[in-house]
Amino acid sequence: MAERQVIVGSRIGLHARPAALFVKAATAQAVRITIRKGDGPPVDARSILRVLALGARNGDTVVLEADGDGAVEALEAVATVVAEDHDDPA
């Protein structure tokens, strides 16, 4: 089981467009990825409803987990999306 901790970089948190980009990235991976916040239960990273319901805000740490071949690379790809600030007007 590969695990990755990452801080939410988006200014508005994992909502709206940042959440959609995250779910798209997770859906594109060959392995199944889960995401959890703090001690909460891990949820399917391909589920926009579950991801929104995490209520992850800017600066929160989330934990991404995956199993199987290419898990580390897959986590790396989606972690980048979580860490970015998509609202940066620049």
Handedness of CA 10, 11, 12, 17 (dihedral sign): negative
> With respect to other proteins, which residue has the nearer C-beta, 4 or 46?
46
Residue 86 is among the residues annotated as catalytic for this protein:
no
In the complex with other proteins, the residue whose CB is nearer, 11 or 80, is: 11
Can you tell me the distance from the alpha carbon of 32 to that of 17, in angstroms, rounded to the nearest whole number? 21
Residues that bind other proteins in the complex, under the rule CB under 8 A: 11-13, 15-17, 20, 23-24, 43-44, 46-50, 52-53, 55, 57-58
Q: Which of 1, 5, 13, 15 is catalytic?
A: 15
Residue 49 has which token pair? 């409803």
Is residue 45 a contact partner of residue 56, using CB atoms and an 8 Å limit?
A: no
Q: Which residues are catalytic?
A: 15
